Chains A and B, each alone.
Chain A
Amino acid sequence: MSELSDAEKRKILRERRQKKFGNGGASSRLNKITGQVDSNLSTESPLDTPRSAPIESKQQETLIDIPDPEIPNIDDHIQKTTPAAKIEDAQLNLFKQLADMQKDGSSPDLFSLLKSMNGETGDDSIFKNLPTSPEDAPTPVDTELLKYHDYLVNRLKAKTILIKWMFFLLPYLYLVTRGGRTPLIPVPEMLSILLDPSYFFMIFTSFEMVATSIYYQKLQSIERNHKINTLDNSSKIVKLVSMIPEGIIPVPNLKGKVVLALQYWDVLSLFLTDICFVLLFIGIVVYF
């Protein structure tokens, strides 16, 4: 076998070294050094930490799979829809559109760009997605997140109604209509006074108040988590009202007033739904 050249020797040694530093070897080497003198210096190796972490994490964010298409991962959506991310998206869109215009051969000159910035070209305005200032601009909400939010709000409403009906109104109405005399649901003696029909409206309204308060607490917690005001984003009436410029109608803060009215209407509608259920149930009981 012929003698190795210097270059070949260097290459073999280099490979040997890389092998020793790879596969966690780097950290164990640092452990070996610090272990001898019982030092508290860091043994985390630069070789064991990813070099382009920010880029990779960004890639990971876009690659996250949503486990269930019906119920998307809410944390990811909240992260993706922060105002900063939206501004970045808008800037990316701007670059994309500029690149497309270049590809078409229609190089945008400064004048046309300025015109676009002013919105003179209508739909072609490449700056239309850019918020004017973070304070002025309404917080943009991702449509997917909004859909998910609506889904959760509707689910909460449905669950609340179902729980109210199944676990309180139905047994309570049954007992009230039976005068507390039923072998199905044993009632303690001290509670039988509550089944007196003359107390029905008081108990019903008290229950409605408690149930509505719990419902609104839950709703607010969902809104806080998603940073979405349900009425602001889902109600068509609010959207239409918000299109009316301030000052045209002699009512200050029209949108706020409409939102407040809608909130009251929401509470009332819950109450009316339950009243309807009560009337329907009593009707059925009376019929049979």
Chain B
Amino acid sequence: MDFNVERNLHSLINSTSHKWIFVGGKGGVGKTTSSCSIAIQMALAQPNKQFLLISTDPAHNLSDAFGEKFGKDARKVTGMNNLSCMEIDPSAALKDMNDMAVSQNGNGDGDNLSDLLQGGGLAELTGSIPGIDEALSFMEVMKHIKRQEQGDEGENFDTVIFDTAPTGHTLRFLQLPTTLAKLLEKFGEITGKLGPMLNSMMGAGNVDIAGKLNELKANVETIRQQFTDPDLTTFVCVCISEFLSLYETERLIQELISYDMDVNSIIVNQLLFAEYDKEHNCKRCQSRWKMQTKYLDQIDELYEDFHVVKMPLCAGEIRGLNNLTKFSQFLDKEYDPQADNHIIYELEEKN
């Protein structure tokens, strides 16, 4: 059976089943622009559904991309009533946890632990732990799953789009459910066997360790199942038509497949389409486009079963909702270098 794979993200944009969409790739290839574009297109295509765009990159760009400030709590994008954004801030989240610990520990009883916590000690101690951003992002995912299970209407999102950190961070984040599941399983075995002893030790504090662990294990398992379900989760790779980016994209795809994650879309950004642009066809653009074409041919050959979307390099920065909306239309409908050429210069005028 043979059929052509659409060279756009139309099916994803109109998908009603996907709950989690990850957008990732090498640093500087346009992940944030792509994730914002996908989120905007989905929100426009499905006005009755709520979408959340989360940045898990420690160096957040969402606020800059939309030109408005987002924080650790989901906030609607101005001009869109079904798209919210949030930037997970490890230091702010840890400060919250620190404050919570202080309030639980009693107010000003003067012991050393309280003094340490009141000085933001917990946040300082844990903030420097490698992988804390990924862990906090993961906690956020767990929170959303819990809310969805509890049917909390006020905070419910139908689809969550992740603007991820560069590849290494993202892979660590995606590995977390499997790693945690294994860890909890091992821990569960030990607590199962040492249960009575632990209960004896923890009896005075009324801490049900086994119960807490089982709850966490169930949540992690739910996430793992959802992340490996191709109807619920997919990964969109973003790259540019250059060797290192192509190499990293291929490795990323292979890693994702090894995690049983679905990946079927690749956005190739920053293409010059120089031969169609007679007006601005300088020598440098020509030679660069020649190089891009070489890798594009390889991409076409390697990823014939993927939705490969070719996006143009715009004359200016793609910032603000209007520019993003204009640019994002090429995700739904393929960019035509001849017919749509003027749009990349329109963006420039707006900046």
Contact = CB atoms under 8 A, between A and B. Distances in A.
Given A16-B305, A33-B247, A46-B255, A110 B197 contact: yes
Residue of A37, A46, A113 with most partner-chain B CB within 10 A: A46
B193 A113 contact: no
A33 B250 contact: yes
Contacts of B194: 95, 98
B200 A32 contact: no
B306 A17 contact: yes
Interface string B185-205: 000011011111100110000
Interface stretch (A7-15, A149-157, A220-228, A278-286): A7-15
Interface in A27-60: 29-30, 32-34, 36-37, 39, 41, 45-47, 51
Given A4-B3, A14-B230, A51 B258 contact: yes
Contact of A10 (B189, B264, B294, B302): B264
A214 B302 CA distance: 66
A102 B298 CA distance: 62
B193 A109 contact: no
Interface residues of B, number: 34
Given A33-B247, A95-B190, A13 B264 contact: yes
A100 to B, nearest CB: 10
A20 interface: yes
B11 interface: yes
A12 B3 CA distance: 10
B128 to A, nearest CB: 28
A121 to B, nearest CB: 16
A46 B251 contact: yes
Given A7-B231, A29-B302, A109-B200, A39 B257 contact: no
A283 to B, nearest CB: 69
A18 B257 contact: yes
A171 interface: no
A268 interface: no
Contacts of B196: 102, 107-109
Interface string A97-133: 0110010000111100100000000000000000000
A21 B201 CA distance: 51
A26 interface: yes
B258 A47 contact: yes
Nearest to B247: A33
A12 B1 contact: yes
B5 A29 contact: no
Contacts of B197: 98, 108-110, 113
A6 interface: yes
Given A4-B3, A13-B264, A33-B298, A41 B258 contact: no
Chain B interface helix/strand/loop/mixed: helix
Contacts of A10: 11, 230, 264
A153 B1 CA distance: 70
A20 B243 contact: no
B193 A99 contact: yes
A99 B189 CA distance: 10
Contacts of A17: 257, 264, 305-306
Interface in A156-208: none
Given A10-B230, A39-B243, A47 B5 contact: no
B247 A47 contact: no
Contacts of B89: none
A109 B231 CA distance: 48
B246 interface: yes
Contact of B298 (A18, A32, A108): A32
A32 B247 contact: no
A108 B194 CA distance: 9
A21 B254 contact: yes
Contacts of B294: 36
B306 A30 contact: no
A115 to B, nearest CB: 13
B262 interface: yes
Given A17-B305, A102-B196, A110-B200, A33 B254 contact: no
B243 A33 contact: yes
B258 A46 contact: yes
B336 to A, nearest CB: 24
Interface in B221-265: 230-231, 243, 246-247, 250-251, 253-255, 257-258, 262, 264
9 contacts: A20-B305, A29-B254, A30-B251, A47-B254, A47-B257, A95-B193, A102-B195, A108-B196, A110-B200
Interface of A: 4, 6-7, 9-10, 12-14, 16-18, 20-21, 26, 29-30, 32-34, 36-37, 39, 41, 45-47, 51, 95, 98-99, 102, 107-110, 113
Given A14-B262, A98-B193, A109-B196, 9 more contacts: A9-B11, A13-B264, A14-B264, A21-B253, A29-B250, A29-B302, A33-B246, A33-B302, A109-B197
Q: Which 8 pairs between the two chains have the least Cβ-Cβ distance?
A: A110-B200, A107-B196, A95-B193, A16-B305, A46-B258, A98-B193, A17-B305, A46-B255
Interface of B: 1, 3, 5, 11, 15, 189-190, 192-197, 200-201, 230-231, 243, 246-247, 250-251, 253-255, 257-258, 262, 264, 294, 298, 302, 305-306
